[in-house]
């Protein structure tokens, strides 16, 4: 039934199981805690979920790096808060 609906919708061929990976990845990108994603998918460990089901996205990785860079860069005297 799933494959029929995918075809009828004009989507690329996809397995029902692949939607689990999509679900895990989308929840991760929306900031859902990995423990909650793991429980939702019925996994015994969050590390298995991260390694197997949650696929990193280039944009999310770049944004994470930019956040860290922004936190670590030196602050110029003009940017320092006055107290």
44 found inside a domain? yes
53 found inside a domain? yes
The two structure tokens encoding residue 9: 């919708």
pLDDT at 35: 93
66 found inside a domain? no
pLDDT tens for 6-53 read 888 888 888 888 888 888 888 888 889 999 999 999 999 998 888 887
50 found inside a domain? yes
> pTM value?
0.58
Q: Which domain holds residue 52?
A: 15-58
82 found inside a domain? no
Q: How many whole angstroms separate alpha carbon 67 and alpha carbon 43?
A: 30
Q: How many whole angstroms separate alpha carbon 72 and alpha carbon 77?
A: 15
Q: What interhelical angle do 18-29 and 34-41 show, nearest 10?
A: 160
Burial call 62-79: b when 16+ CB within 10 Å, e when fewer: eeeeeeeeeeeeeeeeee
How many domains is the chain built from? Answer: 1
pLDDT at 58: 64
70 found inside a domain? no
The two structure tokens encoding residue 59: 């944009």
């Amino acid at each position: 039934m799933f494959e029929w609906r995918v075809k009828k919708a004009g989507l690329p061929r996809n397995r029902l199981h692949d939607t689990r990976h999509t679900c895990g990845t989308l929840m991760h990108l929306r900031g859902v805690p990995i423990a909650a994603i793991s429980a939702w998918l019925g996994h015994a460990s969050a590390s298995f979920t991260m390694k197997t089901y949650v696929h990193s996205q280039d944009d999310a990785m770049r944004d994470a790096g930019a956040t860290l860079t922004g936190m670590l860069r030196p602050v110029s005297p003009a940017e320092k808060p006055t107290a």
